[in-house]
Amino acid sequence: MGTERTTFSTRRFLVGKAGPFPRLVFREEVMLALDQFSHLHSQGEHGGFLIGRKQDIKSAERYEILVERFVPVPQRSDATRLVIHQDHYRTVELALKKGEEVVGWAHTHPGFGVFLSSFDKAQHQRFFPEPWQIAYVMDTQANERVAYHVRDDEWQRLGGYYVIRDMAPHEVGITSKQRSSPWLRVVVAVLALALLVTGITMGVPVVRDMIRKPEPVTRTLAQSG
């Protein structure tokens, strides 16, 4: 029993507009995982299940959909579209933890814009017919991400969504304007990893030098200006 309470405090960032219904909230890690997935699959349509919780709230929005995990559907790398099978759904359902639900699905439209094809719509209505189940489509090449849902047979595009971040105790109270940073963080993480690998292969002093000497870059920029 017990409502879930963590020792972290959390902060929410709104992306787009706050819609009337339903309220959609992604954990920041899920957002990062989705963007990373999207960048790794730059051909055809790929995607997977969104797992999370539907929580009642005391507002006009009635409940919110919290997306906590992304579970990719295994696919051939040259697949042109994401086809979900009953087996995929059942496997995911069996692996759900207590209180978790399949709150929707996400898939990529690399470079061809964000919309739902008639195939996408049929697939959504087959597996995700509840109004609290969403279809999240990403075209990271165009930097577009949109969530849809269907309610009383009517398709709706959500005006926006929230990204929720757990704040470590030392971060609480720091305000940060946060719009483009999820992807930036992936880049930073990749750079950090690259530095680490360089450090391992070339010896730590190189890394130490790279970290210690940012000045030349600044100087070059200043001179060229």
Site residues (CB under 5 A) for Zn ion? Answer: 45, 117, 120
Q: How far is the CB of 45 from Zn ion (least distance, A)?
A: 5
> By C-beta, is 21 or 115 nearer to Zn ion?
115
Q: How far is the CB of 119 from Zn ion (least distance, A)?
A: 7
> By C-beta, is 59 or 117 nearer to Zn ion?
117
Q: How far is the CB of 110 from Zn ion (least distance, A)?
A: 10
Residue-wise DSSP of the chain: ------SSEEEEEEEE---SS-EEEEEHHHHHHHHHHHHH--SS--EEEEEEEEEE-SSTT-EEEEEEEEEEPP--TT-SS----HHHHHHHHHTPPTT-EEEEEEEE-TTT-S---HHHHHHHHHH--STT-EEEEEETTTTEEEEEEEETTEEEE-SEEEEEEEEPGGGTT-----SSHHHHHHHHHHHHHHHHHHHHHH-HHHHHHHHH--HHHHHHHHHH-
> By C-beta, is 82 or 164 nearer to Zn ion?
82
> By C-beta, is 23 or 109 nearer to Zn ion?
109
Q: How far is the CB of 93 from Zn ion (least distance, A)?
A: 22
Q: Which residue is nearest to Zn ion (CB)?
A: 120
